[in-house]
Amino acid sequence: MSPPLWALSLPVGTVFVFVPRIISLTLQIMSGAPLRNSSPREHAESKDVAAKDTHGYVRRAYAAHQNSWEAMILWSAAVLFAKSTGVDVDVMNNTAAVWLAARFVYTPAYILIRSNTKAFFRTFVFTIGTACSVRLMWQAALKA
């Protein structure tokens, strides 16, 4: 018997947290830029984080990594709250499927979209993921 999707969403979501950081570091290394791990947040915003043509991608990948932590924390709380109050497993699994799809699309959208007008797509995808967390919390609150 395989674990339910809502349960798998926690380790898979955690992997999704690190993918943009790995992309950011890979782009830095490939561009020949120095890695400065002593203050990574400051370094990610600095001009010498990567070659000029990849600088924006590195910064957005690092920002996607930070955002992924925020989304993961909210999702984890929602899943635990839903499980502890006995929210229907089908509701949890379906919501987890949508959340995972949204997070899967979000990282490449964040990294690759550079135009302000197209960035609204990224915001839309982010909103879908956040709505999934809110949905589970709402369902859990109704059961509490």
CA separation for the pair 104, 69 (Å, rounded): 14
In a domain, 1, yes or no: no
Structural domain includes residue 129: yes
Count other C-beta atoms under 10 Å from residue 108's C-beta: 16
Instruction: Going residue by residue through the chain, which has 144 residues, state the pLDDT in tens, using 9 for 90 and above.
Output: 789 999 999 999 999 999 999 998 888 888 777 776 766 666 666 666 566 677 788 889 999 999 999 999 999 999 999 999 999 999 999 999 999 999 999 999 999 998 999 999 999 999 999 999 999 999 999 998
- The CATH number of whichever domain residue 26 belongs to comes to 1.20.120.550
Q: Classify each residue of 38-48 as buried b or exposed e, where b means 16 or more C-beta atoms within 10 Å of its C-beta.
A: eebeebbeeee
- Asked if residue 3 belongs to a domain, the reply is no
- Predicted structure pTM score: 0.89
Phi, psi at residue 51, to the nearest 5°? -60, 155
Number of structural domains in the chain: 1
> Cα 132 vs. chain centroid, distance in angstroms?
13
Secondary structure letter of residue 48 according to DSSP? G
Print the domain residue range for 58: 8-143
